[in-house]
Amino acid sequence: MNKPFAPSAPVDMARERAAGIRDIMPVMVAAAPIGLLFGALCAGKGLSPAEAGLMSVLVFAGGAQFAALELWTWPVPIATLAFSTLLINARHILMGASLAPKMRSFSLGQKLAGFYVLTDESWALAERRAKDRPLTPAYWFAVAGLLPLCWVGATIAGAVLGSFLGDPARIGADFAFTALFIGLIAGFWNGRVSAAAIGASAAVSAATYFAFGPPWHVAAGALTGIAAAYVAAPAGEEPPEAA
pLDDT category at 167 given cuts 50, 70, 90 is: low
Kindly report which listed range (23-32, 37-46, 123-132, 133-142) carries the lowest average pLDDT score.
37-46
Q: Cα–Cα distance between 210 and 24 in angstroms, integer?
A: 33
Percentage of residues in the chain having pLDDT higher than 90: 33
**pLDDT: which is higher, 186 or 194:** 194
Helix axes 120-130, 137-161, angle to 10 degrees: 160
Per domain, the residue ranges of the chain are: 13-188, 189-243
Q: Using alpha carbons only, what angle is made at residue 230 by residues 224 and 233, rounded to the nearest 5 degrees?
A: 130
Q: According to the model, what pLDDT value does residue 223 have?
A: 81
**pLDDT: which is higher, 218 or 91:** 91
Query: Residue 116: is its pLDDT beyond 50?
Result: yes
Q: According to the model, what pLDDT value does residue 242 have?
A: 42
Query: Residue 6: is its pLDDT beyond 50?
Result: no
Kindly report which listed range (32-41, 47-56, 141-150) carries the lowest average pLDDT score.
32-41
